[in-house]
Amino acid sequence: MVINKVIRWGLLSASLIAILTLTAMNVYMLYDVRDTLIQGEQKKQIALLDEVVLNVRRTIYRPYRGFNTLELEPIEGSIEERGQFPEQVREKIVQVAKSPVFSGVYYTPAKIDPCTEGSQIYVLDRETSLLNLTNQYPKNLCDGVGLVRTKARIELNNFDYRWNTNTEFDAHRSMNIGFINLHENSVIGYLTATIDRDYLINEVITPEIQQYFDSSKTKSVVWLHDWANDVVLATNNNQIPFQIEEVQQRVDFGRMFENWNLKIAFLDNASVSLYHATFTKNIMVLGFSVASLLGALFYIFYTAQKERSILQQQADFLANVTHELKTPLAVMQAAGENIADGRVTQPNRLKEYGSHIYQESVRLNKMIEMLLDVARSDYGTTLIHASPHNLHLLVKNIIQQQRPLAKKKGHSIDYSYDTDEALVLVDPDHIKVILTNLIDNAVKYSNGPSTIDLQLSATTEGFNVHVKDQGIGIPRSHIKNIFKKFYRVEDSLSAKTKGHGLGLSIVQGLMELNKGNVTVKSEWQKGSTFTLFFPEYHVHPTEINNLTQKDGMALTSNRETSSIASETIV
């Protein structure tokens, strides 16, 4: 039995662990899928940011294609002799000048320092495509040429230069190219293209952002941010203000625009929002399924345990009943055999044997009646023949019938009542079974001779019959179970007392059939009080004569409380 119990609990534990493990795995997978989807969407949007940066870089660099393949050594002599670039170089520079991204194109010979006031450099005339000397040029030209000159000197002093151009950006203001004489490893001059900042922002970068991050299709926000001056230059959604703590990823333009970068805040897009809704539903369905599965598992386990307990109780009950049925049958058989064989001839001995047979037959009959009551209760076939009765007379008659048992055990029965006109609608046979069971329990579970008190009292809705004993009482922890079938309170006295745990179950069932109820108050080692409540029956005037003749006393439709009366039956 211990092994079976260990196996049952082991299987339950294994089932619980399996359910919880599977649930945890499913929840983890749901979260993992969600995180993967979110990360995938974020990577996709970062890739779009990279595409925007790449497109902007292409727009800037496109006019300069082929510069690194030109023969640049003749530039210096051509400029000094004719004031113009060689034709193949001039065509490329004109190509740069035609790009709307650049507002002007300038050439500074290597010997000229544009930072010196009054210096003259060459400016490309967009209309004639010719170079003209001028001392009117943007001040930021000094910074751009200074950057590329410094970089070219450092690299020429430390490396053998492989390319004939060296490009440097002055933030977002100008693009500067140093022309290199690869044969002499020296700088020829500097080509500067000033950037039209407004055109670059409004006509190049902003359309790219809005094309790839349409605010009607995505909730993610992209800002072109000048971090050096903390200024937002462009965005795909003007409704959402820039907040640096909301930024989740940034993409730089590299050397092109060192002070600018694209910042993005990942908000829910359509697919992520749809998944969130599905995710919530999945979690709810999973939670409900797991709760149902756990509930079903516990219910099955509880039911199995309960059924096993009931089966054990029934087995014990069957063993007890078999034993108790054999006892009276054995006594009756022995007594009948002695009488039949003529071994007993004396009148007093015959009377004694007859008394034994009678008592054991009564005991056997009571046991059979109890078993029949249980069977009828189990199958719901208990019949009730209810009719108006005077509860006072019923109780009094039942007490009178219990006199032999009380007297034999040395107990007395006190009965008190505050009304003798307690009209109720009940089955008298049921009332007899109920009170007989309670009185029998009061006798059995008393340590010695005592008084059993029965009291009939009136309430606003009916009548109470209190059965109070001076027995061993019921522990508080057991009171909630005493009306269950086959349940017995196990202690030193009850273990020695014959019983099957059915009496109080029968009492409760019959009380419910008669529209009443039974409650109990008990104190350990001091006794118990069972209270039976019966609703009052309001008699119709036409029934008064019949009830008077039936009960042998006058009944009125309106009950009046009389003084308390009592009597003792010993």
Q: Give the DSSP H or E segment for 301.
A: helix 270-340
Pair (141, 169) in one structural domain: yes
Pair (454, 439) in one structural domain: yes
Question: Which of 34-48, 122-136, 152-166, 340-354 shows the highest mean pLDDT?
Answer: 122-136
Whole-number Cα distances in Å, 297 to 4, 301, 303, 304, 427: 18, 6, 10, 10, 43
Give me the mean pLDDT over the 284-295 stretch: 78
Give me the mean pLDDT over the 181-197 stretch: 86
Distance, in Å, from the CA atom of 528 to the CA atom of 469, rounded to the nearest integer, reads 6
Q: Is residue 248 part of a domain?
A: no
pLDDT higher than 50, residue 523: yes
Tokens of 162: 């492989």
Among the candidates 195, 213, 246, a domain finishes at 195
Pair (387, 370) in one structural domain: no
Distance, in Å, from the CA atom of 556 to the CA atom of 349, rounded to the nearest integer, reads 53
Reported confidence tier of residue 203, pLDDT bands at 50, 70, 90: very high
Q: Is residue 536 part of a domain?
A: yes
Q: Is-above-0.85 flag for pTM?
A: no
Pair (511, 483) in one structural domain: yes
Query: Residue 160 has what pLDDT?
Result: 56
Pair (429, 510) in one structural domain: yes
pLDDT tens across 1-40, in order? Answer: 567 667 777 777 887 788 788 778 877 777 777 777 777 7
Residue 315, classed as helix, strand or coil, is helix
pLDDT tens across 223-249, in order? Answer: 999 998 999 999 998 888 998 888 989
Distance, in Å, from the CA atom of 351 to the CA atom of 300, rounded to the nearest integer, reads 58
Q: Give the DSSP H or E segment for 139.
A: none
Domain that residue 155 falls in: 65-195
Give me the mean pLDDT over the 246-269 stretch: 86
Percentage of the residues of the chain whose pLDDT score is greater than 90: 25
Pair (152, 29) in one structural domain: no
Q: Is residue 231 part of a domain?
A: no
Query: Residue 382 has what pLDDT?
Result: 63
Pairwise pLDDT comparison (137 vs 368), residue with the higher score: 137
- Termini Cα distance of the chain: 49
Distance, in Å, from the CA atom of 53 to the CA atom of 59, rounded to the nearest integer, reads 10
What is the SS3 assignment for 13-69?
A: HHHHHHHHHHHHHHHHHHHHHHHHHHHHHHHHHHHHHHHHHHHHHHHHHHHHCCHHH
* Residue 362 CA, distance from chain mean position: 61
Among the candidates 286, 307, 328, a domain finishes at 307
pLDDT higher than 80, residue 169: yes
Query: Residue 272 has what pLDDT?
Result: 59
Query: Residue 206 has what pLDDT?
Result: 93
Q: Is residue 260 part of a domain?
A: no
Query: Residue 88 has what pLDDT?
Result: 81
pLDDT higher than 70, residue 90: yes
Pair (49, 78) in one structural domain: no
Give me the mean pLDDT over the 357-362 stretch: 80
Pair (425, 558) in one structural domain: yes
Q: Is residue 241 part of a domain?
A: no
The four Cα atoms 7, 9, 10, 12 give a dihedral, to 10 degrees, of 120
Distance, in Å, from the CA atom of 142 to the CA atom of 192, rounded to the nearest integer, reads 10
Q: What angle do CA 440, 442, 445 make, to 5 degrees?
A: 105
Whole-number Cα distances in Å, 497 to 239, 443, 487: 87, 11, 14
CB 544, CB 557: distance < 8 Å: yes
Residues 6+ apart with CB under 8 A from 282: 30
What crossing angle do the helices spanning 347-379 and 503-513 adopt, rounded to 10°? 60
Among the candidates 151, 170, 195, a domain finishes at 195
CB 523, CB 396: distance < 8 Å: no
Distance, in Å, from the CA atom of 470 to the CA atom of 103, rounded to the nearest integer, reads 115
Q: Is residue 265 part of a domain?
A: no
Mean pLDDT of the chain: 80
Reported confidence tier of residue 542, pLDDT bands at 50, 70, 90: low
Pair (91, 168) in one structural domain: yes
Per-position b or e across 350-364, b if 16+ CB within 10 A of its CB: eeebeebbeebeebb
CB 102, CB 141: distance < 8 Å: no
Query: Residue 20 has what pLDDT?
Result: 80
Residues 6+ apart with CB under 8 A from 342: none
Residue 557: CATH number of its domain = 3.30.565.10
Pair (398, 541) in one structural domain: yes
Query: Residue 506 has what pLDDT?
Result: 84
Q: Is residue 251 part of a domain?
A: no
Distance, in Å, from the CA atom of 338 to the CA atom of 319, rounded to the nearest integer, reads 28
Q: 149-163, 169-183, 203-217, 302-316: lowest mean pLDDT where? A: 149-163
Q: Give the DSSP H or E segment for 250.
A: strand 249-252
Q: Is residue 250 part of a domain?
A: no
How many structural domains compose the chain?
4
Which strand ranges, in their side-by-side order, compose the sheet holding 165-170? 131-134, 121-124, 102-109, 186-195, 174-181, 165-170
Percentage of the residues of the chain whose pLDDT score is greater than 70: 82
Q: Using alpha carbons, select from 441, 428, 500 the residue that is nearest to residue 467.
A: 441
Give me the mean pLDDT over the 272-292 stretch: 72
Q: Cα-flanking dihedrals φ and ψ of residue 190, to 5°?
A: -130, 125
Pair (547, 441) in one structural domain: yes
Distance, in Å, from the CA atom of 11 to the CA atom of 451, rounded to the nearest integer, reads 53
Reported confidence tier of residue 157, pLDDT bands at 50, 70, 90: low
Residue 87, classed as helix, strand or coil, is helix
Give me the mean pLDDT over the 493-501 stretch: 57
Pairwise pLDDT comparison (551 vs 419), residue with the higher score: 419
Give me the mean pLDDT over the 200-219 stretch: 88
Query: Residue 562 has what pLDDT?
Result: 42
Query: Residue 555 has what pLDDT?
Result: 45
Pair (387, 418) in one structural domain: yes
Pairwise pLDDT comparison (256 vs 456), residue with the higher score: 456
Give me the mean pLDDT over the 445-472 stretch: 89
Whole-number Cα distances in Å, 477 to 379, 484, 495: 30, 14, 18
Query: Residue 556 has what pLDDT?
Result: 40
Reported confidence tier of residue 389, pLDDT bands at 50, 70, 90: very high
